[in-house]
Amino acid sequence: MWVLQPIVFLVLVIGFHAVLCRLVPRVGALGNFLLVGTLAGAALTVRAHAEYGRGIETLASILVYAFACEFYIFLFSMVSSSISVSLLLTFRPGNIVGDQLPLLYSSSGMISRRLEKLVAAGLLSQNGGIYVTTDKARRSIRTFYRLRGFFGHAVHPSPEVPYVQ
Amino acid code (one letter) for 66? A
- Per-residue pLDDT at 165: 45
Residue 124 and residue 149: Cα distance in Å, rounded? 25
- Give percent of the chain with pLDDT exceeding 90: 27
Q: Is residue 91 part of a domain?
A: no
Domain assignment present for 105: no
| pLDDT given at position 98 | 61
Asked whether residue 62 is domain-assigned, the answer is yes
70 and 128 together in one domain: no
pTM of the model: 0.58
Domain boundary among 49, 81, 113: 81
Tell me if 115 is assigned to some domain. Answer: no
Q: What digits encode the pLDDT tens for the residues 8-61?
A: 999 999 999 889 888 887 777 888 889 999 999 999 999 999 998 998 999 999
* CA-based nearest residue to 87, from 115, 110, 60, 118: 110
Say if 99 falls within a structural domain. no
Query: How many domains is the chain partitioned into structurally?
Result: 2
69 and 14 housed in the same domain: yes
Write down the mean pLDDT value for the chain: 80
Domain holding 25, by residue range, is: 4-81
